[in-house]
């Protein structure tokens, strides 16, 4: 699903955020991306979501080499990715329902279908009774779950999460991680960036670690070699 092949990312000014990163995350797998802040976790996710482009190397997503994707094709690739952010990125001028419906509206779903899917998605994150609420009235954990509902509502093949539990207490964090594991159970490929090593150890999925832009630990290669 995701294949990094000697990928480098150098930002203007010379800072190299990623150097020679190579790994393969197979379809249907779930993995954690760890490392200190500044190790390059966010950059790696941004490369997959086409927010940044690699400076060198190949990055193949679902059979498409992202180095060669034209800007006009970017939206269509992003539609197969659900992205979850630490700071939720919700739109506070509309209801929970309208926030979650946005990916479906972009893709041009019919009105009836949108209602059905948004409710199914909110049900999965346990917020079915909050569809008419304004996001600002929800707690941090609930807002994060609205963000997750929005990321999964159009049933993407890949879920990316950047520090999804960053602002949550351990109990809520665990619930969120278990939620991701459930999506993985039904076939979604999941990549979660997190620095919460204790929590990751409890979850038991493969871990990729970055240290100063370089891969320092990779469970995925071990599993594929075995």
Partner 1 sequence: MPRTDSNQIAKSSPIKAWGINHLRTLIASLGAMTRHPASSFMTIAVIAIALALPAGLFVLLNNASNISIGWDNSAQISVFLKSDVTEKQANRLMKKLRLYDDIDQVSLINKTQALKEFKKISGFGNAIEALGDNPLPHVLTIQPVVDANRPDKIRHLIKQLNQQKQIELAQLDLQWVKRLFAMLEIAQRSIWVIASLLGIAVLLVVGNTIRLDIQNRREEIEVTKLIGGTDAFIRRPFLYTGLWYGIGGGVFAWFLTTLSISLLDNAVEHLASLYNSGFQLRGLSFSEGVNMIGFSCFLGLAGSWIAVGRHLSEIEPS
Site residues for partner 1 per CB under 8 A: 27, 49, 51, 72, 75-81, 83, 89, 91, 93, 102-103, 105-111, 113, 117, 150-151, 154-155, 157, 187-188
Question: What is the spatial order of strands in the sheet that 81-84 belongs to?
Answer: 81-84, 158-162, 189-193, 30-34, 207-211, 214-218
Q: Which is nearer to partner 1, 28 or 166 (CB)?
A: 28
62 vs 221, which CB is nearer to partner 1?
Answer: 62
Rank residues 27 and 182 by Cβ distance to partner 1 and give the closer one.
Answer: 27
**Smallest separation (angstroms) from partner 1 to the CB of 226:** 25
CB of 41 to partner 1, least distance (A): 15
Residue 49 or 66 having the CB closest to partner 1: 49
Minimum distance between the CB of residue 171 and partner 1, rounded to whole angstroms?
Answer: 28
CA–CA distance from 149 to each of 6, 26, 144, 166, 169 (Å)?
33, 24, 9, 18, 20
**How many angstroms from the chain centroid is the CA of residue 90?**
15
175 three-class SS: helix
Q: Could you report how far apart the first and last alpha carbons of the chain are, in Å? A: 19
Q: Which two tokens stand for residue 202?
A: 């409890």
- Minimum separation from the CB atom of position 12 to partner 1 (A): 13
């Amino acid at each position: 699903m995701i294949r990094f092949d000697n990928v480098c990312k150098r930002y203007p000014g010379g800072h190299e955020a990623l150097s020679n990163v190579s790994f393969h995350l197979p379809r249907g797998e779930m993995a954690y991306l760890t490392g200190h802040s500044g190790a390059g976790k966010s950059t790696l996710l941004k490369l997959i979501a086409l927010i940044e482009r690699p400076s060198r190397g190949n990055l193949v997503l679902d059979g498409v080499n992202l180095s060669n994707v034209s800007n006009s094709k970017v939206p269509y690739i992003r539609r197969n990715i659900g992205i979850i952010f630490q700071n939720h990125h919700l739109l506070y001028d509309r209801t929970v329902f309208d926030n979650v419906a946005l990916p479906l509206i972009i893709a041009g779903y019919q009105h009836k279908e949108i209602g059905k899917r948004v409710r199914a998605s909110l049900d999965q994150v346990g917020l079915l009774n909050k569809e008419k609420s304004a996001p600002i009235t929800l707690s941090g954990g609930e807002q994060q779950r609205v963000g997750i509902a929005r990321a999964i509502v159009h049933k993407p093949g890949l879920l990316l999460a950047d520090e999804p539990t960053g602002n949550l207490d351990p109990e809520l964090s665990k619930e969120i991680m278990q939620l991701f594991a459930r999506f993985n159970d039904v076939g979604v490929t999941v990549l979660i960036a997190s620095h919460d090593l204790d929590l990751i150890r409890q979850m038991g999925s493969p871990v990729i670690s970055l240290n100063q832009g370089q891969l320092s630990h990779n469970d995925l290669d071990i599993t594929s070699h075995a």
